[in-house]
């Protein structure tokens, strides 16, 4: 084995030193941990010395510690007490610093202060918190024994209902839609109260991030204009349809979703999923919509300016059914805001944060979201917080 030039030095404490340490730890008001900290030794070592001292195995013999370093001197009891006081002051300051971060309730009502003490009393001490928040301990303990108020019971029952609605709608509803869902069930409650209860319970809706892409040079199709621009809002079904496509990651590849939506009811009436972004994909979605609906000639079919919708296959199909094609103005993606809104909701509520391993897995999720949730249950602000299927039944 190699020979070390500077081996580690080992402390060998003399019996006198051990006896003094043990006797110091036996003084009234002094704890083993304090003595160990003052002498810079491990508390377990001092506990072992105390045991050996009781058994008579350690006696003062006048020997000095075998080491080139000077023997440590045991600090006096006064110094240990001062060290202990400084540690307590440091712990108190740390508590106050933590309180400053938490105690936005310090300016609230007495009940809010009592609630704060109840939440943090075990950690920081009831007596200390009562003094710091300016309330009496007797008042706090009386508050703890008091029966729950009617308002508190009402909030608890309402929060239970809010949780049910939030969970039943896949956890995507924020406070506006939860508020509308409560009203539909006959529960009269303020919007801000719902906001507060959801915020306190950490219930949040899902929202997508805003992505910005650098637009490329797109071909301008003079023959396709935005005929929706000067048209009034539709007054019935099958007057204006909008369509678009988007992309969704599956493993290390992309899949493309084309969809058709009725502007009047916000219902998705046709969609198609494929591995290639082609006119065939958008044609399948259009034919799906035509099988579900039987529109009269004159229907406006609005899309963006992509080649998938300007292709002959799409334009020929539209002509066969007497449908008028309409496209966005150049660099004006908001002309197709209804479809952008649908894709935004879809990705925020069902796609983001989910890893799809196969196209079939993605297809199942899309079918469940579009056919069962979005069309049948999801409340839409643009149609008076109703579901598309319900709205169509109302106007039928």
What crossing angle do the helices spanning 43-54 and 32-39 adopt, rounded to 10°? 110
How large is the C-alpha radius of gyration of the chain? 37
3-state SS assignment for residue 244: strand
Q: What share of the chain is helix, strand, coil (3-state, %, to 5)?
A: 50, 10, 40
The pTM of the full predicted model, rounded to 2 decimals, is 0.53
Cα dist. 24→49, 73, 178, 331 in Å?
12, 12, 67, 84
- Tokens 């008028």, located at residue: 324
- Tokens 């200390």, located at residue: 128
CB atoms closer than 10 angstroms to residue 348: 16
Average pLDDT of the residues of the chain: 82
Structural tokens at position 260: 């058709």
How large a percentage of the chain has pLDDT more than 90? 32
For residue 53, pLDDT beyond 70: yes
pLDDT in tens, 250-281: 988 999 999 999 999 999 999 999 999 999 99
For residue 187, pLDDT beyond 80: yes
CA separation for the pair 193, 178 (Å, rounded): 11
CA separation for the pair 335, 246 (Å, rounded): 16
For residue 108, pLDDT beyond 90: no
pLDDT in tens, 275-334: 999 999 999 999 999 999 989 999 999 998 888 888 888 999 999 999 999 998 877 778
CA nearest neighbour of 345 among 201, 192, 169, 164: 169
Cα dist. 140→103, 116, 129, 145 in Å?
17, 11, 10, 9
H-helix segments, 232-336: 279-292, 307-310, 312-320
CA separation for the pair 148, 160 (Å, rounded): 16
């Amino acid at each position: 084995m190699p020979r070390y030039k500077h081996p580690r030095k080992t402390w060998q404490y003399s019996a006198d030193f051990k006896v003094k340490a043990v006797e110091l730890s036996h003084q009234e008001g002094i704890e083993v941990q304090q003595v160990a900290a003052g002498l810079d030794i491990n508390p377990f070592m001092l506990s072992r010395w105390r045991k050996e001292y009781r058994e008579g195995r350690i006696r003062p013999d006048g020997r000095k510690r075998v080491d080139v370093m000077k023997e440590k001197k045991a600090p006096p009891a006064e110094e240990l007490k001062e060290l202990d006081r400084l540690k307590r002051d440091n712990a108190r300051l740390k508590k106050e610093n933590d309180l400053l971060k938490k105690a936005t309730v310090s300016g609230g009502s007495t009940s809010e202060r009592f609630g704060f003490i109840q939440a943090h009393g075990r950690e920081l001490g009831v007596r200390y918190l009562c003094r710091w928040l300016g309330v009496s301990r007797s008042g706090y303990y009386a508050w703890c024994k008091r029966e729950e108020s009617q308002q508190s019971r009402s909030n608890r029952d309402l929060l239970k209902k809010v949780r049910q609605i939030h969970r039943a709608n896949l956890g995507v509803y924020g406070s506006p839609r939860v508020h509308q869902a409560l009203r539909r069930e006959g529960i009269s409650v303020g919007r801000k109260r719902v906001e507060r209860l959801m915020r306190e319970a950490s219930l949040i809706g899902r929202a997508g991030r805003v992505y910005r892409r650098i637009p490329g040079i797109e071909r301008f199709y003079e023959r396709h204009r935005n005929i929706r621009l000067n048209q009034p809002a539709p007054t019935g079904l099958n007057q204006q349809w909008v369509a678009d496509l988007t992309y969704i990651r599956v493993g290390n590849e992309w899949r493309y979703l084309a969809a058709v939506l009725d502007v009047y009811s916000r219902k998705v009436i046709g969609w198609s999923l494929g591995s290639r972004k082609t006119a065939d994909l958008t044609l399948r979605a259009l034919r799906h919509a035509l099988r579900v609906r039987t529109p009269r000639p004159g229907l406006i079919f609005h899309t963006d300016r992509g080649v998938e919708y300007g292709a002959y296959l799409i334009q020929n199909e539209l002509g066969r059914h007497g449908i008028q094609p309409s496209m966005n103005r150049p660099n004006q993606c908001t002309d197709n805001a209804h479809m952008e809104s649908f894709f935004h909701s879809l990705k925020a509520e069902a796609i983001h944060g989910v890893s799809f391993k196969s196209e079939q897995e993605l297809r199942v999720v899309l079918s469940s979201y579009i056919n069962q949730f979005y069309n049948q249950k999801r409340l839409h602000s643009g149609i008076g917080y109703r579901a598309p299927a319900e709205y169509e039944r109302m106007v039928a």
